[in-house]
């Protein structure tokens, strides 16, 4: 949103000056016209004050704030409170500066005659297409409160899954960081001191010690080269992965890693079936639901299958058939979809499938830590064992040199 200064006149010819935040000049002009004013001039302004600085929020709007927004809005709407008044209350309660500003803008947009979904579409990176289309469906059907409650539940599922994955990875990551810290300490402090001591005796050192000393010499002498290479690889890799080709390559690679493949597959299927069920039960057509469900999937291998299936469904085919041909979706998914299509209860069947895979994801994330923990412990033990051998083996040889 930008800030604009405007100069306008009333029908009687009285001058009106002021400022407002809007998406662009056309939006300002539209709002002024709705107020019965004749626009004379609109200028884009830039100001940096304490209020604008307080609205800087790195990381966007937290998921928990969106959940609270959905639940409280659903409560107020179901109680018969006007939408503008509900948004006004939410604006006052919002703790996140960015979200508070967005809610204020949405309230102003609704006051100018737009609906809730279109008002949020003017705000970037707040809600995804699935959420916005569901809100629009809720407004059209008069069941906005029910839709908002369903969206709150969906966001809570997403937040819960993210928390479980993070907690499962915390311990292995800590172990990995400890290994890296120990190696850096050895390379820059312990090994250089050790090599100076051993050099005084002019004794032949074991190959393990020579390897460790050579590695230390290289790291201490060319650390800046290593740093530049790492930065180039990280920046270049990020730029490549941001392309559609790079993302597809990474998505394929991820699905070839044994432990990761299982979790990603179950997560993507749980996401697809849950979103698809939610969209269908909210009154969206199957083609709309397939398109939005595909966009909600993070792995392009799974989303491509759904987009291809959408093309066949549009031609009158069955949804279960193209999904059954995919190597990424288990037979259980296509079989259950076929049952849902035959009985006319596809949304209900998909909800049951989503619940099943949700439990599978929970079990997989719980097991992830127990699987990775011994792997990293073995890695750390092997590293420490090699270093200990490289350091202490020459000490036994030095005793013979000194006698």
- Do 34 and 131 lie in one domain? The reply is no
- Which two tokens mark 56? 């800087």
pLDDT at 1: 55
Q: What mean pLDDT comes out for the span 122-131?
A: 79
Helix/strand/coil for 8: strand
Q: Domains in the chain: how many in total? A: 3
- Dihedral sign (CA 198, 202, 207, 212): positive
Higher-pLDDT residue of 200 and 211 is: 211
Q: How far apart are CA 110 and CA 227, in angstroms?
A: 52
Q: Residue 89: phi, psi to the nearest 5? A: -65, -45
Cα angle 335, 147, 64 (rounded to 5 degrees) comes to 100
Domain CATH for 388: 1.20.81.30
- The answer on 169 and 261 residing in a single domain is yes
What pLDDT score does 38 carry? 72
Task: Read off the pLDDT of each residue in 171-180 and give the average, rounded to a whole number.
Answer: 79
pTM of the model: 0.69
Element (H, E) at 21: strand 15-22
Among 216, 205, 223, 238, which Cα is nearest to 394's? 205
Give, in order, the Cα–Cα distances in Å from 157 to each of 128, 270, 271, 276.
Answer: 15, 10, 9, 14
Contact between 150 and 162 (Cβ < 8 Å): no
Query: Looking at residue 55, what is its pLDDT?
Result: 40
Q: What is the pLDDT of residues 317-357, one digit of tens each?
A: 889 999 999 889 999 999 999 999 999 899 999 999 988 98
Q: Are residues 146 and 173 in the same domain?
A: no
Does residue 57 sit within a domain?
Answer: no
What CATH number does residue 30 fall under?
Answer: 3.10.20
- Residues 18 and 5 sit within 8 Å (Cβ to Cβ): yes
Whether residue 332 sits in one domain with residue 243: yes
Q: Does the residue 54 lie in any domain?
A: no
Tell me, yes or no, whether 52 lies in a domain: no
Own/partner contacts of 21-26, CB < 8 Å, gap of 24 or more, are 21/105, 23/122
- pLDDT (mean) for 249-259: 87
pLDDT (0 to 100) of residue 339: 92
* 57-111 pLDDT tens trace: 444 678 888 888 888 888 888 888 888 888 888 888 888 888 888 888 888 888 8
Cα(213)–Cα(319) distance, integer angstroms = 62
Query: Is the pLDDT assigned to residue 402 strictly greater than 60?
Result: no
Its sign, for the CA torsion 345, 349, 352, 357, is negative
Looking at the DSSP bridge assignments, the partners of residue 8 are 16, 39
Question: Once rounded to an integer, what is the mean pLDDT over residues 176-192?
Answer: 81
Q: Are 279 and 130 in contact (CB under 8 A)?
A: yes
Boundary of a domain, candidates 152, 167, 182? 152
Collapsing DSSP to helix, strand or coil, 173 comes out as helix
Residue 50 has pLDDT above 80, yes or no: no
Q: Which domain holds residue 74?
A: 63-152
In a domain, 365, yes or no: yes
Residue 131 pLDDT > 90: no
Question: Which three-class secondary structure string do you get for 63-121?
Answer: HHHHHHHHHHHHHHHHCCCCHHHHHHHHHHHCCCHHHHHHHHHHHHHHHCCCCHHHHHH
Is residue 128 located within the same domain as residue 30?
no
Q: How many CA atoms lie within 13 A of 185 on its CB side?
A: 8
């Amino acid at each position: 949103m930008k800030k604009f200064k405007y100069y306008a006149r009333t029908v009687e010819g009285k001058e009106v000056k002021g400022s407002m935040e809007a998406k662009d000049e056309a939006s300002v002009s539209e709002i002024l016209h709705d107020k019965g004013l004749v626009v004379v001039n609109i200028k884009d302004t830039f100001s940096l004050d304490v209020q604008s600085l307080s609205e800087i929020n790195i990381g966007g709007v937290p998921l928990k704030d969106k959940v609270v927004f959905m639940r409280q809005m659903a409560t107020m709407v179901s109680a018969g409170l006007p939408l503008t008044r509900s948004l006004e209350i939410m604006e006052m309660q919002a703790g996140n500066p960015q979200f508070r500003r967005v809610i204020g803008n949405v309230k102003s947009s609704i006051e100018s005659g737009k609906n809730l979904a279109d008002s949020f579409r003017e705000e970037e990176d707040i809600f995804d297409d699935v959420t916005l289309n569901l809100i629009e469906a809720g407004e059209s059907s008069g069941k906005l409160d029910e839709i908002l409650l369903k969206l709150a539940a969906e966001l809570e599922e997403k937040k819960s899954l993210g928390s479980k994955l993070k907690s499962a990875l915390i311990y292995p990551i800590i172990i990995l960081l400890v290994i890296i810290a120990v190696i850096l300490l050895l390379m820059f402090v312990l090994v250089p001191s050790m090599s100076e001591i051993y050099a005084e005796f002019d004794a032949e050192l074991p190959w393990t010690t020579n390897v460790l000393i050579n590695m230390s010499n290289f790291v201490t002498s060319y650390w800046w080269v290593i740093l530049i290479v790492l930065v180039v690889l990280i920046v270049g890799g990020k730029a490549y992965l941001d392309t559609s080709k790079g993302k597809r390559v990474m998505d394929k690679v991820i699905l070839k890693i044994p432990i990761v493949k299982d979790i990603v597959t179950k997560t993507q299927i749980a996401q697809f079936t849950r979103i698809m069920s939610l969209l269908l039960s909210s009154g969206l057509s199957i083609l709309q639901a397939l398109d939005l469900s595909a966009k909600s999937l993070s792995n392009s291998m799974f989303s491509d299958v759904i987009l291809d299936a959408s093309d066949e469904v549009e031609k009158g085919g069955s949804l279960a058939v193209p999904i059954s041909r995919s190597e990424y979706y288990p037979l259980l998914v296509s079989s259950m979809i076929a049952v849902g299509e035959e009985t006319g209860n596809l949304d209900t069947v998909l909800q049951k499938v989503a619940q099943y895979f949700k439990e599978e994801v929970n079990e997989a994330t719980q097991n992830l830590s127990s699987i990775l923990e011994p792997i990293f412990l073995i890695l750390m033990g092997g590293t420490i064992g090699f270093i200990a051998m490289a350091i202490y083996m020459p000490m036994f040889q030095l005793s013979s040199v000194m006698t």
